[in-house]
């Protein structure tokens, strides 16, 4: 019996980082979609219905904190796992907006894979 890999949505304004994460995760069998800003990310969360969202904190227009709050406030997306990327260590704010976990930058790709596999 084959195990279904998770659907992961990456929301990050750095296109190169999105591409690198996408390639690494697809190589491990994850199904990936990505978005370059918060508004697109929220729409893709509703249409793609990911098991997990990897969300960057520092983005123009709408911060990751704001995106997380909006996802948690919407019944369609409120129960999705949200892991936030940040170079800051504001873990209280992450908890306040409803993040399930914070992944500190710079991160190790194997760490991300391990985190995602532990939540299947």
| DSSP assignments along 66-110, one per residue | HHHHHHHHSTTTTTSEEEEEESS--HHHHHHHT-SEEEESS--HH
User: Residue 7: which H helix or E strand, with range?
Assistant: strand 7-11
Q: pLDDT tens digits, residue range 45-99?
A: 999 999 999 999 989 889 999 999 999 999 999 999 999 988 776 777 788 888 9
pTM: 0.89
What count of other Cβ atoms lies within 10 Å of the Cβ of residue 61? 9
What count of other Cβ atoms lies within 10 Å of the Cβ of residue 10? 25
Fold of 7-118: Rossmann fold (3.40.50)
Q: pLDDT tens digits, residue range 32-55?
A: 999 999 999 999 999 999 999 999
Domain boundaries, given as residue ranges, for the chain? 7-118
Query: What is the distance between the alpha carbons of residues 53 and 46, in angstroms, rounded to a whole number?
Result: 11
What count of other Cβ atoms lies within 10 Å of the Cβ of residue 8? 24
């Amino acid at each position: 019996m084959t195990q279904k890999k998770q659907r992961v949505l990456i929301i990050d304004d750095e296109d190169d980082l999105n591409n690198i994460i996408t390639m690494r995760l697809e190589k491990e069998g994850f199904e990936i979609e990505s978005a370059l800003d918060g508004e697109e990310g929220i729409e893709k969360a509703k249409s793609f219905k990911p098991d997990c969202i990897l969300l960057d904190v520092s983005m123009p227009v709408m911060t990751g904190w704001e995106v997380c709050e909006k996802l948690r406030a919407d019944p369609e997306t409120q129960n999705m796992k949200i892991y936030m990327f940040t170079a800051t260590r504001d873990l209280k704010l992450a908890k306040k907006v409803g993040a399930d976990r914070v992944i500190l930058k710079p991160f190790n790709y194997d760490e991300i894979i391990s985190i995602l596999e532990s939540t299947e």
